[in-house]
Homo-oligomer: A and B are copies of this chain.
């Protein structure tokens, strides 16, 4: 699914929410784990989350670290979860934050945005609609992903300004009035300019925890979809995240992980109902905030 497909689902479901499938075994109810392998437990949990949210959210994001942590069994759950999410017509983001020298980035890109053939088999275990990319190695790295974006009609989110407290140590360093993250934003903007349409396939990760920066970055990258982490557990609020949206009310996906998938703990409900309720609340909060600034994308 490309960015256009994502946008159609945002409008149809009236939701710019992406659900972070970041399971932590220690917070998954015992019933999912009893007598089960790690991969069975993680997948069963994710399946209930997906069943709870697929009709009210357009996208899911899988943070691959929470699967890699559990080795091959963990990654098997990553593969099964993203397949199940695809079967429910969701836009699937692999939050992999990869980035390496050219020939190595190509291997990541082939594996995560595309697929490879071996004899008469097609290997597409990790193929998703979109992945996150780390820009520390410069354009060489991102260009390899762009080749596959064109081949497979996919998209990426480049890390511009991340949501964590120490992101400023490197990203906020400024030379001649331009910070590192603004320079990365300039790269993103330049790369999108060769694609037609209101939105290009090169998106940007910009944390909800830095609302001031959101305003400037929104202006600098008008054609980029924003992936906005940091809502909820990390402190970002609806009134902050509206700044990530363009005047058309589009151009942003707001992520929440722990606030959605572990909401059952707060509600005392089932995992599925907890997730469903959290997405409903988040949709309402963001849509209300968007309406207040005249950015109603659903009109």
Q: Which residues of A contact B (CB under 8 A)?
A: 22, 25, 38, 63, 65-66, 68-76, 79, 97-102, 104-105, 107-108, 110-112, 116, 118, 123-126, 134-141, 159, 162-171, 173-175, 180, 183-184, 187, 229
In contact, B99 and A134 (Cβ under 8 angstroms): yes
A116 to B72, CA, bound (A): 13
Cross-interface CB contact of A170 among B25, B123, B126, B183, cutoff 8 Å: B183
In contact, B69 and A125 (Cβ under 8 angstroms): no
Q: Can you spell out 9 A-B residue pairs with CB atoms less than 8 angstroms apart?
A: A63-B107, A65-B100, A71-B79, A72-B75, A72-B76, A72-B125, A101-B229, A138-B168, A140-B166
A137 to B135, CA, bound (A): 11
Q: Which of A65, A76, A141, A173: most chain B CB closer than 10 A?
A: A65
A123 to B70, CA, bound (A): 6
Chain B residues, CB < 8 A from A22: 104
Q: Report whether over half of chain A's contact residues are helix, strand or loop; otherwise say mixed.
A: helix
In contact, B137 and A107 (Cβ under 8 angstroms): no
Cross-interface CB contact of A136 among B66, B107, B170, cutoff 8 Å: B170
A125 to B76, CA, bound (A): 13
A51–chain B nearest beta-carbon distance, Å: 24
In contact, B71 and A123 (Cβ under 8 angstroms): yes
Beyond A73-B123, A136-B134, A171-B136, whether A118 also contacts B25 by CB under 8 A is yes
Beyond A110-B69, A180-B173, A180-B180, whether A104 also contacts B63 by CB under 8 A is yes
